[in-house]
């Protein structure tokens, strides 16, 4: 028998999915982690009542999180991922033949456990290039003594609970410390529609730390806002400077992203262009 799972946004909006079974439901020290089997989106990861990713639409989010950074960084050999416990971002990074090492720092082991067991198609957990660390990504970028990374990707939850500290200047300064001088930082930067002020705050905080900041936009069907945003930041990042060989290597594995998409996603809507110019 099917039932409904509703995500409620700030007691103002409700978005529901019809589901047939709850496959996983555990409370970690940080958050409640669930996996439900739905009739329209397949299996869905839910954290603290918020839809995170689904089998049916995850390619939009993960391809847009990963590929714009991976094809514009001058090099893409060493990659740091903060968050991303479902494994989808890591799998897309590892599709790039140039990658030699991926360090993934995820704070909640239960997210990884649930995803491995119930969303096994999302990750590439057995790839020998992957080093998985269960720990605090904020502390890692602040304290770890390691060689610089060519690309850093933040695949975090909304800025509440364990994700709250991932959206501030201190964290961004830590990311810059970890980046190569010409490296690229990519992150999801929330909805410019439902969370307009948060989106703008993220852009301004990034601009205080990085000389170049480039937001971009795309679909995220699972998220009730529809349109989502991501951002590239760095000392020299140029969204137009696509490495064609790197892009061509991953395009056959993509369902949404390609070089034509990449040229269009960085166009700023008129109202945001005016707001960010202030």
Q: What is the DSSP string of 22-49?
A: EEEEEE-SS-EEEEEEETTTEEEEEETT
Most confident region among 8-17, 127-136, 167-176 by mean pLDDT: 127-136
Q: Find the domain containing 110 and state its range.
A: 58-276
Cβ(206)–Cβ(229) below 8 Å: no
Burial level of 273, CB count in 10 A (0-12/13-18/19+)?
exposed
Question: Among residues of the chain, what percentage have pLDDT more than 70?
Answer: 97
pLDDT of residue 11: 86
CA-to-CA distance for 145 and 33, rounded, in angstroms?
31
Residues 67 and 192 in one domain: yes
If asked whether residues 35 and 131 sit together in one domain, one would say: no
Total number of domains constituting the chain: 2
Looking at the structure, tell me whether residues 46 and 92 fall in a common domain: no
38: CATH = 2.30.140.10
Options 57, 108, 150, 155, the catalytic residue: 155
Residue-wise pLDDT for 53-87, tens only, equals 999 999 999 999 999 999 999 999 999 999 999 99
Report d(CA 258, CA 265) in Å as an integer.
11
pLDDT digits (tens, 9 = 90+) for 173-198: 999 999 999 999 999 999 999 899 99
Kindly state the percentage of the chain with pLDDT values over 90: 90
Q: Do residue 259 and residue 190 come from a single domain?
A: yes
Let me know whether 127 and 149 are in one domain: yes
Terminal CA-CA length for the chain: 53
Shared domain for 25 and 89, answered yes or no, is: no
Q: Are residues 76 and 36 in the same domain?
A: no
Among this protein's residues, is 155 annotated catalytic?
Answer: yes
The last residue of a domain, from among 54, 73, 90: 54
- Taking CA atoms, 81 is separated from 2, 24, 141, 147, in Å, by 36, 25, 11, 15
- Both 7 and 93 in one domain: the answer is no
- Separation of alpha carbons 202 and 61, rounded Å: 18
Whether 92 and 185 map to the same domain: the answer is yes
Rounded-to-10 torsion of CA 32, 37, 42, 46: -10
102 and 32 in a common domain: no
């Amino acid at each position: 028998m099917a039932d409904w799972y509703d995500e409620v946004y700030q007691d103002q909006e409700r978005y529901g999915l019809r589901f047939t079974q709850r496959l996983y439901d555990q409370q970690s020290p940080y958050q409640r982690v669930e996996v439900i089997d739905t009739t329209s989106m397949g299996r869905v990861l839910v954290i603290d009542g918020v839809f995170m990713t689904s089998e049916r639409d995850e390619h939009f989010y993960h391809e847009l999180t990963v590929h714009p950074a991976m094809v514009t960084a001058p090099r893409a050999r060493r990659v740091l991922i903060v968050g991303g416990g479902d494994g989808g971002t890591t799998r897309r990074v590892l599709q790039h033949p140039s990658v030699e090492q991926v360090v993934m720092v995820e704070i909640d082991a239960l997210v990884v456990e649930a995803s491995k067991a119930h969303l096994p198609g999302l990750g590439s957990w057995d790839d020998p290039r992957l080093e998985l660390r269960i720990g605090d990504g904020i502390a890692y970028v602040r304290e770890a003594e390691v060689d610089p990374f060519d690309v850093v990707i933040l695949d975090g939850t909304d800025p509440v609970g364990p994700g709250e500290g991932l959206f501030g200047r201190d964290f961004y300064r830590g990311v810059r410390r970890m980046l190569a001088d010409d490296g690229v930082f990519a992150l999801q930067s929330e909805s410019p529609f439902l969370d307009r002020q948060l989106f703008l705050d993220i852009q301004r905080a990034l601009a205080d730390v990085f000389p170049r900041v480039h937001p971009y936009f795309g679909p995220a069907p699972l998220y009730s806002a529809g349109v989502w945003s991501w951002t590239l930041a760095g000392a020299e990042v140029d969204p137009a400077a696509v490495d064609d060989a790197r892009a061509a290597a991953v395009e056959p594995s993509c369902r949404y992203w390609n070089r034509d998409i990449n040229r269009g996603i960085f166009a700023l809507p008129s109202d945001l262009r005016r707001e960010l110019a202030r």
